[in-house]
Amino acid sequence: MAKHYLPENLPNHIQHYIDGKFVDSVSEATFDVLDPVSNTNYATAAAGQAEDIDLAVAAARNAFRNGPWPKMKPRERARILNRIADAVESQENRLAELETFDTGLPITQAKGQALRAAENFRFFADLIVAQFDNAMKVPGAQINYVNRKPIGVAGLITPWNTPFMLESWKLAPALATGNTVVLKPAEFTPLSASLWAQIFKDAGLPDGVFNLVNGLGEEAGDALVKHPDVPLISFTGETTTGQTIFRNAAANLKGLSMELGGKSPCVIFADADLDAAIDSALFGVFSLNGERCTAGSRILVERAIYDEFCERYAARAKNIVVGDPHDPKTQVGALVHPEHYAKVASYVEIGKGEGRLLAGGGRPEGLETGNYIAPTVFADVKPEARIFQEEIFGPVVAITPFENDDEALALANGVKYGLAAYIWTQDLTRAHNFAQNVEAGMVWLNSHNVRDLRTPFGGVKASGLGHEGGYRSIDFYTDQQAVHITLGTVHTPKFGA
């Protein structure tokens, strides 16, 4: 049985943060928060309702209209963002410890998330200082220039996988561009989100610029999406929730950025560097407990190397260390919540009727409690199988053979999702042609999932709407206002003269 580790100074109650103060729900409603190793409740959290969202939005709207934040010079905002980054870095160990406790992510993987969160703030601090806008001139006749303006209150709805880091993806550009925000973190993992409030206050962020409302998606999240004073919604999460948000945002014609689910292919050709491809294909689906939107959860392997690949891949998967998330040796920890565990376990059972089980297949020996699933590998999976088509979001992978490039492309594109794709081949021409023809917002060639913060992040088809990252985030969180000036004589038709 996994040892149950408890971080020091755990809160037993998690509150909202509205207009610079920690508060409970107006109704005093709460929900229970559990840790995924013991599946026991360690805290209650304030459960936000429409009236709590109203208060948070009112605070954010007042800070936007009457506060200093939107009017600050970019350098002044950048200084505060850099202080936030310093604070996140200085708390790396504490953040990682709480994130691991709350999510079940292995501690070694949680540590990297804190540093990445800090880097997001540094990156956007640099970007807003370097930002310049276009001027278009017709000498002697006209000049046109672009004014970038923050839009207002941004509603940010974040998921439970790597929550702190994914919150930073949205918070950093939204704040950098001068907006104010209301953050609704995932109800499964509210612990690390509660740390932002003190970090921001200590860094000098004015009250009301950052507001946090905990709660269920169908209550707090729904109220935020429908609020008439929230012109922007950035959402990361599951596709069917994204469709609901899309419908509910339509009445107010809100700006939407949605990073949704994935069922990404990892395509391995016979000429690939097989050692490197195996390393990447294992990491791509079993890191972060398989709870990652960009997971390469469908591995497509050219027939000539298929049997060797399956054998070597399964042998490695059986060796993956599953256990206590706080143990540095652990590679796969506990899934986030019993509800999610039940979903993943049901797909494992479905897979037993759809493919040849090569590794895993259920709960690992010796881990009778907690949300543990052994890394599970199915081979010979047909493209119509549910485990090929549907996002599982856990340590479960489907392997399928292909005969040629055309079949590989058809298999890669044969699902409703289109977030990421991983391609392994030494043939340069094939690599670039395949990358351009695969239906994915992001492609990694002979690489695992590493991303430069300047590049766009987003998917196509059922995997998303719009892009964030780099200047795409600046575009999303600002209005671009064109200003036109005539230089010289104005020639206007003289109606009615």
As a whole number of angstroms, the distance between CA 132 and CA 153 comes to: 23
259 is an active site residue: yes
Outline where DSSP puts E strands in 192-231.
Answer: 210-212
**Which of 449, 409, 451 is closest to 430 using CA atoms?**
409
293 is an active site residue: yes
Among 167, 293, 310, 468, the one annotated catalytic: 293
Helix (H) or strand (E) holding 100: helix 92-103
Contacts with 231 (C-beta within 8 Å, 6 or more apart), sequence order? 151, 152, 153, 252, 254, 255
**Which of 255, 221, 258 is closest to 238 using CA atoms?**
258
Tokens of 104: 């079940």
As a whole number of angstroms, the distance between CA 272 and CA 267 comes to: 10
Tokens of 152: 């207002």
Tokens of 154: 């941004």
User: What value does the CA radius of gyration of the chain take, rounded to a whole number of Å?
Assistant: 24
SS3 43: strand
**Which of 410, 451, 22 is closest to 194 using CA atoms?**
22
As a whole number of angstroms, the distance between CA 179 and CA 200 comes to: 14
Instruction: Output the CA–CA distances (angstroms, integers) from residue 462 to 47, 288, 341, 453, in the order listed.
Output: 30, 22, 23, 23
Q: How, if at all, do strands 417-418 and 255-259 pair?
A: unpaired
As a whole number of angstroms, the distance between CA 208 and CA 174 comes to: 14
As a whole number of angstroms, the distance between CA 408 and CA 394 comes to: 24
Helix (H) or strand (E) holding 262: none
As a whole number of angstroms, the distance between CA 471 and CA 417 comes to: 25
Phi (first) and psi of residue 475, to 5 degrees: -60, -45
Instruction: Output the CA–CA distances (angstroms, integers) from residue 364 to 269, 319, 372, 373, 468, in the order listed.
Output: 32, 12, 7, 6, 38
Helix (H) or strand (E) holding 71: none
CB 156 within 8 A of CB 181: yes
Among 167, 259, 291, 302, the one annotated catalytic: 259
**Which of 299, 406, 427 is closest to 355 using CA atoms?**
299
Q: How, if at all, do strands 417-418 and 460-461 pair?
A: antiparallel
Give the catalytic positions in this structure: 259, 293
